[in-house]
Amino acid sequence: MVVSALGGTTDALIAAGRSAAASNEAYREALHGLEQRHLAAAQELLPTASQQASLDLLRSQFAELQRVCDGVFALGELSARTLDKLMSYGELLSSQLVAAAAKQQGLDAAWADSRQLIRTNSRFGNAEVDMAATDLQVKAYLNAHKARLWVVPGFIGADAQGNTTTLGRGGSDYTAALLAAALGAEVLEIWTDVSGMMTADPRLVSSARPIARISYQEAMELSHFGAKVLYPPTIQPVMQRGIPLWIKNTFAPQDHGTLVEVAPPRTAAVVRGISSISSLALLSLEGSGMVGIPGFSRRLFAALARERINVILITQSSSEHSICVGVNEADAARSQDAVDEEFATEIAAGRIEPLRVETGLAIVALVGENMKSHPGISGKLFGALGHNGVNIRAIAQGSSEKNISTVIQAADVRKAINVVHEAFFEATYKQVNLFVLGAGNVGGKLLDLLARQQAYLLDKLRVQVRVVALASSRHCAVSDEGLDLGSWAAALDAAPPLGLDEFTQLIIDKNLRNSVLVDVTATPDTVRCYAPLLAKSVAVVACNKVAASSDYAFYAHLKSLAQEFNAPFLFETNVGAALPILNTLQDLVRTGDRVQRFEAVLSGTLNFVFNHYDGSQPFAEVVRQAQAAGVTEPDPRLDLSGTDVARKALILAREAGEVMEMSDIEIQGFLPASCFEGDVEAFYAQMLREEAHFRALYDQAAAQGKKLRFVAQYAEGRAKVGLQQLAPDHNLYDLRGKDNAIQFYTDCYVEQPLVIKGAGAGGEVTAAGVFADIMRAVL
């Protein structure tokens, strides 16, 4: 049984030593606190009658510790050798306590000092083990001493002169592996505080799951790349002897844990796990003077090796113009000095550039033996990262194909690991994070719809939709875990305000995977945030028509950003609410078809009005009914003036490939100019005074058996909107309620147009269209 120190003891001993070296007497109090903790542990573990020997041993060892620290205090210096001696006391103390407790339980137990078993060199702080000498010492010791259970301190060994050395933080696992290998054990069990290795760090990925069985090579890759459950050197000794290594949970012994073995059973999973290393620096050596000249790589690595700097990752361009290596961020400054000194002559001559150092980076690694000769893994990895705006700074893959490593910004690690985990472990769900602007008629109905559909989406599509932030003109509610959509209105009312710029920065700072901005406002100001968010690979779903109908340069810029940063920019509900008008048009264009012309009734408001107006009640009253039914814009003058239809016609023309501005749309209005003087109430009052005008329009059409329809038309690069009288044989004649309809004439649909028809206004259907765009953006 190999025993680690009590939790936090090693850090406390290091801190005490450094305090003493800094002439700070605080080390005395620190050592006293540690002593009291260990004495309390002994009193809890052992019967009162059997405590004295252990208590005396603890006190004597703490007296030794005190003398060591006093010496450090007197000298004002803490050498690596002395620090190793200090750190060793944690395991020495705890293992002797456990041995005493085992004896009290009636076990034939004995304590063995691992400094008599583990032989190392004199590299204090992270000593290298002499395997052959260790094997001989272990066997010789056990031949000379007999017990059923040996309790051994982990983490420590001794050099040939008998000086105490340490094996690196986490070295107790390594001690156990060295003993298992020397003894030819049937199995090595590592008992820790988690149920084995996981598909990803559970602190970063809530859906991470345990790995039941894994190969030595896969475990080694994962442990080297940040899987803290296993100290990387642990695997080598047992792998050489073919000894299975079983990682178990002390606090859940019934859990299977992870069995590390020579040949685990094959599974359908291509990837075994995902891991990461933070605090990485990337060193880039570049220059035309490197091309075709042997020895540059050797000199680079030799310069780093002289400074004992570990190289974590290597990548070189095939042009030989540059080579990049990854090192610990703490070693970056020493690396730069060493390399610039090594290549001082070439730098001075301009043949190569001074070493370029980038910090604030991390590695995300994909690990799995089944990746070998399996095409598409790299593409899937890069696609998942790219879709979420995670920029890859460097890539490394060995010929074994067990590991694909990507260097990214450290700030993106959480998002990166989650999106990659979603991509490769499909049994888990995909998380979608919404940031919603607007909680009015459409926004409120959208939130209610999301609340009703959350369970369905998770169960059927494996999609978890969360509204992380909801903003109105006066409030902004934020929840990292997602707002409770059953009580969003109360949460919004209780929330403080947040400006648009701050809301935009909030989305960028949270840096969540699969983020979507949903704009269900109608205000011109909100579109300012689209560009910065698209540039961060945040999808934008816009019910707001302002962006797509603004200056062509702005519209084109947003479309370009969406394409460049692989961030969907969707605005289906700009034309026809939930009707698939824009999607159909985009499909036509994508397949090479050309729109020759179209005719459309695109205003649910105007269609509602002209379907209900027959002269039996004032035209103004019918408009009020439309507004009460929620089928108008907040300001109904936008609908009745033809401006809203002109915007929709402009959007359609642009999506058909036309470069067009709003001023190019001819608007043939039917309202008298006097109706646009004053506010909305003045508008209604003036319509009442102009009732004869509206009655005349109706009577003229009815006399010919026709209906009034406000029609948008496009042909040969020109567009116009206006009131028309349509005969019964026209495709746009028979529209009910708030229907919209459009007929496309294209190179494929020449004589018989492609017609799309259905409800094109109202909060419910518009919310459904926004919901569909959200799903389209993330699936």
Residue 126 identity (one-letter amino acid): N
Q: Identify the CA nearest to 27 among candidates 40, 17, 39.
A: 17
Structure confidence at residue 225 as a pLDDT band (50, 70, 90):
low
**Residues 614-661 pLDDT 10s:** 999 999 999 999 888 877 877 888 889 999 999 999 999 999 999 999
First to last CA, the chain: 51
CA distances from 364 to 373, 385, 541, 734 (A): 21, 11, 30, 59
Q: Identify the CA nearest to 274 among candidates 335, 337, 225, 327.
A: 225
**Residues 204-216 pLDDT 10s:** 888 888 899 999 9
**Confidence (pLDDT) at 227:** 57
Structure confidence at residue 49 as a pLDDT band (50, 70, 90):
confident
- Long-range Cβ pairs for the range 80-84 (8 Å, 24+): 80/124, 80/125, 81/124, 81/163, 82/17, 83/14, 83/17, 83/124, 83/125, 84/124, 84/125, 84/127, 84/156, 84/163, 84/164, 84/165, 84/166
Mean pLDDT, rounded, of the chain: 92
Domain 430-567 is found in CATH 3.30.70.270: no
Structure confidence at residue 320 as a pLDDT band (50, 70, 90):
low
**Residues 755-779 pLDDT 10s:** 999 988 888 999 999 999 999 999 8
Question: 759: which residues sit within 8 A by CB, 6+ positions away?
Answer: 577, 578, 579, 604, 737, 738, 739, 740, 765
**Within 13 A of 419's CA, how many CA atoms are on the CB side?**
26
Select the CATH number that applies to the domain covering 184-265 from these four: 3.40.1160.10, 3.40.50.720, 3.40.50.10800, 3.20.20.70: 3.40.1160.10
**Within 13 A of 35's CA, how many CA atoms are on the CB side?**
19
CATH number of the domain located at residue range(s) 581-761 in this protein: 3.30.360.10
Q: Identify the CA nearest to 157 among candidates 123, 122, 117.
A: 117
Residue 65 identity (one-letter amino acid): L
**Residues 521-558 pLDDT 10s:** 999 999 999 999 999 999 999 999 999 999 999 999 99
Structure confidence at residue 228 as a pLDDT band (50, 70, 90):
low
The position carrying tokens 């289906």 is: 572
Token pair in block for residue 742: 């459009």
Reduce the DSSP state of residue 321 to 3 states and report it: coil
Residue 592 or 227, more confident: 592
Token pair in block for residue 729: 């044989």
Provide the percentage of residues in the chain whose pLDDT is more than 90. Answer: 78
Cβ atoms of 361 and 280 within 8 Å: the answer is: yes
Which residues are tagged catalytic?
648
* Spatial distance between the Cα atoms of 243 and 237, rounded to a whole number of angstroms: 9
Q: Is the pTM for the entire model greater than 0.75?
A: yes
The position carrying tokens 């190793």 is: 84
Structure confidence at residue 50 as a pLDDT band (50, 70, 90):
confident
Q: Identify the CA nearest to 755 among candidates 764, 763, 766, 746.
A: 746
Reduce the DSSP state of residue 729 to 3 states and report it: coil
**Residues 663-710 pLDDT 10s:** 999 999 999 988 888 888 999 999 999 999 999 999 999 999 999 999
Token pair in block for residue 502: 């701050």
* Spatial distance between the Cα atoms of 351 and 354, rounded to a whole number of angstroms: 10
**Confidence (pLDDT) at 677:** 87
**Confidence (pLDDT) at 699:** 96
**Confidence (pLDDT) at 716:** 87
* Spatial distance between the Cα atoms of 572 and 583, rounded to a whole number of angstroms: 7
Q: Are strands 476-478 and 463-471 parallel, antiparallel or unpaired?
A: antiparallel
> Cα 552–656–747 angle (5° rounding)?
155
Segments making up each domain of the chain, as ranges: 184-265, 273-424, 430-567, 581-761
Residue 613: φ, ψ to 5°: -90, 120
Residue 533 host element (H or E): helix 530-534
Looking at the DSSP assignment, which residues form a beta bridge with residue 710? 723
Sign of CA dihedral 656, 657, 660, 662: positive
* Spatial distance between the Cα atoms of 695 and 699, rounded to a whole number of angstroms: 6
Structure confidence at residue 33 as a pLDDT band (50, 70, 90):
very high
Least confident of 54-58, 119-123, 423-427, 582-586: 423-427
Looking at the DSSP assignment, which residues form a beta bridge with residue 436? 470, 518
Cβ atoms of 296 and 285 within 8 Å: the answer is: yes
How many other CB atoms are found less than 10 A from the CB of residue 443?
25
**Confidence (pLDDT) at 510:** 95
The rounded Cα 427 to chain-centroid distance in angstroms is 18
226 has a pLDDT exceeding 60: no
The position carrying tokens 């089928």 is: 631
Cβ atoms of 339 and 327 within 8 Å: the answer is: no
The position carrying tokens 């004032």 is: 618
User: Helix H segments across 194-263?
Assistant: 216-224, 235-241
Helical axes 9-21 vs 26-45, angle rounded to 10°: 160
Domain 273-424 is found in CATH 3.30.2130.10: yes
**Confidence (pLDDT) at 581:** 96
Residue 338 host element (H or E): helix 332-342
* Spatial distance between the Cα atoms of 176 and 152, rounded to a whole number of angstroms: 9
DSSP for residue 461: I
